[in-house]
Amino acid sequence: MTAKLIDGRQVSATVREEVSARVKKRLQDGKRAPGLAVVLVGEDPASQIYVRNKRRDCESVGFASFQYDLGADATQVQLESLIDDLNDNPEVDGILIQLPLPPHLDADPLLLRIHPDKDVDGFHPYNLGRLCQRKPELRPCTPAGIIRLLDSIGTNYKGAHALVVGASNIVGRPMALELLLKGATITVAHRFTQDLAGYVAQADILVAAAGKPGLIKGEWVKPGSTVIDVGMNRLDSGKLCGDVEFDAARERAAWITPVPGGVGPMTIATLLQNALEACERRDIG
């Protein structure tokens, strides 16, 4: 079997069109455009690219984009006061602090300081808690974007065994909660897991999010399964690759996401969806 590709660029374009149409409708109704604030600290080249893409997509769907580029020497107190200002700013519906921050800054208290209603990354404990309790509000972008991809191929979650490789707060853990919410039976693998190969062989849905190129061998993959590769690893050659041995996995899976062009574009599209939702919710409440 050669797996069909799950086209994240195509599905994300559909999401952007949906968001764009809802923004247009708001403007026709005399309402304001959603506002998204993206905060970049320092000059990490990968972060600069991601932030540029986020701002570009933001503008392409008609949002107001608020940009904050702080030097690598920005202090914790400076960031705290910026977050306080953005929390109070009525034109800002969503606040995103690009991670990772330079090592002298502590991300956790900053993420906690973002008002949960403006937490478009879905990283605040309030929003993670809501997902945990089956009543999600703002959902972490990468896992929610992956669910959208899985829905787009008609995934049957109930009765499926889903394996999530990686247990970070921003990808692996919320991914497991999203799959659980859909009715899958979940396993979460991490650094201390023994016999990763054995779990992969039993996974109808595999989500690889460890950040280790080639960690998942193609020959482990369950025939007929769906493989979602979240890994974004830059090789010395400059080439971007995932955590899964793509060519070999493709010979066994039924569906697979490419890297690039799979999960990455969905993360940004879901961010836009979250910002619109945050905006619509603030209008009512």
Ligand X SMILES: NC(=O)C1=CN([C@@H]2O[C@H](COP(=O)(O)OP(=O)(O)OC[C@H]3O[C@@H](n4cnc5c(N)ncnc54)[C@H](OP(=O)(O)O)[C@@H]3O)[C@@H](O)[C@H]2O)C=CC1
Ligand Y SMILES: Nc1nc(=O)c2c([nH]1)NC[C@@H]1CN(c3ccc(C(=O)N[C@@H](CCC(=O)O)C(=O)O)cc3)C=[N+]21
Binding site listing for NADP(+): 166-168
Per the annotation, the verdict on 28 as an active-site residue is no
Per-residue x/- marks for ligand X, 133-172, CB under 6 A? ---------x----------------------xxxx-xxx
Per the annotation, the verdict on 121 as an active-site residue is yes
**Cβ-based nearer residue to ligand Y, 100 or 224:** 100
Burial track 178-214 (b if 16+ CB lie within 10 A, e otherwise): bbbbbebebbbbeeeeeebeebbbebbbbbbbbeebb
Question: Nearest approach, Cβ of 3 to ligand X (angstroms)?
Answer: 19
Residue 216 burial by CB count (10 A; 0-12/13-18/19+): exposed, middle or buried?
buried
- List the single partner that 136 binds among ligand X, ligand Y, Mg ion, none, CB under 5 to 8 Å by kind: none
**Cβ-based nearer residue to Mg ion, 3 or 141:** 141
**Cβ-based nearer residue to ligand X, 82 or 200:** 200
Instruction: Kindly state whether residue 272 participates in binding Mg ion, applying the rule CB under 5 A.
Output: no
- Helix (H) / strand (E) element for 55: namely helix 45-60
Question: Nearest approach, Cβ of 120 to ligand Y (angstroms)?
Answer: 9
151's CB contacts (< 8 A; 6+ apart) are none
Among residues 110, 128, 205, 230, which is the contact residue for ligand X, using CB under 6 A? 230
Question: Nearest approach, Cβ of 259 to ligand Y (angstroms)?
Answer: 6
In this structure, are residues 62 and 75 in contact, taking their beta carbons and an 8 Å threshold? no
Per the annotation, the verdict on 98 as an active-site residue is yes
For ligand Y, the binding residues (CB under 6 A) are 49-50, 53, 96-99, 121, 141, 232, 240, 259-261, 264-265, 267-268
Name the DSSP letter for residue 118: G
**Cβ-based nearer residue to ligand X, 95 or 200:** 200
Query: Three-state SS for 233?
Result: strand
Instruction: Kindly state whether residue 232 participates in binding ligand X, applying the rule CB under 6 A.
Output: yes
**CA separation for the pair 228, 223 (Å, rounded):** 14
Number of residues that bind ligand X (CB under 6 A): 25
Strands (E), 180-275: 185-189, 205-208, 226-229, 233-234, 240-241, 255-256
- Helix (H) / strand (E) element for 162: namely strand 161-165
